[in-house]
Structure 1
Amino acid sequence: MILDKLNDTINGENNSLRDFCLHVKENIEEIGHINISQLAELCFMSKGQVSKCVRQLGYADFAEFKKECVEYMESLTRKKPIFDPRKDLGANIDSITKEYTQCLWFTINKMDLGILNALCREIRLCRRLYVYGHGDTRGNCYDIQRELKYQGISVMILDEKLSEDPLFQAGDLLVVLSTNGQLFHFEKRRVRKLKAMPVRKWLVTCDPSLDFSEHQFCVPVKNRTYNEYILSYVINLLIMTLQITP
C-alpha cells in the first residue's frame, strides 16, 4: 500500500526522498487532481527529482504512482467508522465491546478447527512460506512474518503490486489473505497472477463466495463490521497454534 511505502521511507531515510514522502503523505488527497509539474512545485523539487523519487518507491512512472494514490483514497471511502458519533465515548466502548465479543464467540463456535489445523501443518512442513495481502491485510502479513521468524519458519511477503516473480521451489506454500474479498473485486489482474503462480496455495478469508484455490479457510462471521478485527484474531490463533504444532 502506498501509505506503507511512505511511512517506511519517512521512518528510515534522511534525504530528499524522505522529504518527498512527507509532502505526499500530507497532501495525498490532492495527488489524483494534479500533474507532475504541480507536485514538483508542491514538494519544492524539479520534475526530474519527482520522477526519481517515484522510481525509488518502486513505481514505473508518475502515472502508476498517481493511480495508487487515487486507489488509496478510494479505499478510505469503503471503510465505515464503528463508533456512533451520536454516543459518548463510554457508550461507544460498551456497545462495541458487547458486539465484538458476540462476533468472537460466533466465529469460535462455527470455525472448522480441522481446516485450521491442516493449514498449520502445511505451514510447519513447507520449505518457505509466502504470504500476500492487499490493503488492510498487509499488516497481517507483517505480523505473520515477525512472529514465525521466532519459530524458525522462513516467510517472504510478496510485494503488493506483484511486480516481481518469485522463484518458487518444491515444498513452498503461498497463503493469500483477503478479509472481505476486495482484492478479488478491485484487483482482478493481481488475482489472475496469483492464481497462475506455480505453487501450492491457501486462501484465508471471511467471504465464502470466493473461489481461489482448492484449499481455503473461510472464517465464519456474524457482523461484517468487525470482519477486519475477526480475521486478525484468527491470524493470531494461527500463529499460536503453530507454536505447539510439531
Structure 2
Amino acid sequence: MELGNPVRSILLRYINNQKKQDNNYFIAQIVLDNFDEIPQLTIYQLSEKCFVSTAAISRFIRLLGFATYTEFKSACEAEIGITHDYDKKYTATNPAPESSFIAEFTENLHRNLTYCQEHLSESELKEVAERIHTASDVLVFGLEFASFMSQHFQSRMAMMDKRVHNGFTVDDQLAAIERIQPNSLALIFSMEGGFFYFNEKVIAALKKKDVHIIVFTFKSSPMIERSADQVILCGERNENTEGRLSVLYIMELLLFYYMRTIYLA
C-alpha cells in the first residue's frame, strides 16, 4: 500500500470517522497506544493485546488498505518521528532555548506571509479562481497537514456550490482521479515538494488524464516543473513547520477571491 500520510494519521482518521465502537475501533486504539511496539510484535502477540483473533487483525489491516500484516508492520517501522519537523538545534541533546524558537518561528512566518504578499498578485489569484470555476472537476491534494486542510477548502467551496474532491491516501487519490471528467484541475500543496517524490503514481495518473496541475510550493524543482502546468511559490522558510500556516494562508486567499470574483459576481 502507498500511503501518502503516516500510519498514525490513518488510524486516527479511522477512529474519528467511526459511528460505532466495534472491534475495529478498539483494535485501532490499542495499535495507537502501542504503536512503537508494533514492528516487534507478531500478529499473534497483537491479537492477544487486542483480545481478538488473528483473523480479526488481518481484516482490520486490510480495512486500512494494507495487503498483509507484514506490510503494515513495515509501514509503522518506517514512520518518521515528530522531531524531523524541526531544526536539529531545537531537538539536540543540549537544545537552543524555547524563546529562540518562538522568535525564529514568528520571524520566518512573517517572512513567508510578506513573500506571498509581494509575489502573489491579485490577477494570479483571480486566474486560479476562474480555473476552479470552469473546471469540470477539481482535486485538492497534499501530504498530511495539507491533506487535512484540503477538507476545509472542500467544505468552504461546497458553500459556494462548487464540488471539490480530495483523497487522504494514495489509493483514495487514484480513485478520485479515475472518476473525474475531462477538463479537470488539480491543486497540489507541497511545501518541500515531497508529494512529487512519494506519490509518483498520482502524478502519472493526473498526467494521463490531461489534468491541469497547479502546484503551491516553497521551492520548485525539475520534477515539479516537468509535472506542473503552473507553479506558485508561497514562501521561503520551512525549517520548523512555518510552511503549514502558509498552506492555510493561500487556501484562505483562494476562497476569498473565488467568493468575490465568482460566487458573488
Please, what TM-score do these two structures have when normalized by structure 2?
0.79
Deviations, residues 22-77 of structure 1 (Å, cap 9, x unaligned): 01112222223333223222322221010111122233332343343334x22635
Matches within 5 A, 1:6-155: 6-11=11-16, 12=18, 13-71=20-78, 73-74=79-80, 76-80=82-86, 84=90, 86-88=96-98, 92-155=101-164
Q: Is 2:196 aligned against 1:192?
A: no
Aligned match of 2:189? 177
Q: Which residue type is aligned with residue 236 of structure 2?
A: K
Between Structure 1 and Structure 2, the one with more helix by share is 2
Q: Which residue type is aligned with residue 44 of structure 2?
A: S
Q: What is the SS of the residue equivalent to 2:40?
A: coil
Indicate the larger mover: 235-244 or 58-67: 58-67
Corresponding residue to 1:211 among 225, 245, 249: 225
Q: Which residue type is aligned with residue 127 of structure 1?
A: S
What is the rounded CA distance, in whole Å, between the counterparts of 1:81 and 1:228 in structure 2? 15
Q: Which residue type is aligned with residue 87 of structure 1?
A: P
What is the rounded CA distance, in whole Å, between the counterparts of 2:15 and 2:46 in structure 1? 18
Aligned match of 1:156? 165
- Indicate conservation of the 8 Å contact 1:83/1:92, yes or no: no
Please, what TM-score do these two structures have when normalized by structure 1?
0.84
Q: Which has the higher contact order (CA 8 A, sep 6+)?
A: 2
The two structures, once aligned, show a CA RMSD in angstroms of 2.7
Aligned match of 2:10? 5
Q: Which residue type is aligned with residue 45 of structure 1?
A: V
Report the CA distance between 1:161 and its aligned residue: 1.8
Q: What is the SS of the residue equivalent to 1:166?
A: helix
Q: Is 2:240 aligned against 1:231?
A: no
Report the CA distance between 1:147 and its aligned residue: 1.2
Q: Which residue type is aligned with residue 108 of structure 1?
A: Q
Gaps of 5+ in 1: none
Q: 1:215 to 1:60 in 2, by over 3 A?
A: same
What is the rounded CA distance, in whole Å, between the counterparts of 2:27 and 2:115 in structure 1? 46
Q: 1:212 to 1:194 in 2, by over 3 A?
A: farther
Q: 1:223 to 1:9 in 2, by over 3 A?
A: closer
What is the rounded CA distance, in whole Å, between the counterparts of 1:213 and 1:99 in structure 2? 28
Aligned match of 2:178? 166
- Indicate conservation of the 8 Å contact 1:178/1:205, yes or no: yes
- Indicate conservation of the 8 Å contact 1:176/1:204, yes or no: yes
Gaps of 5+ in 2: none
Q: How many residues align?
A: 244
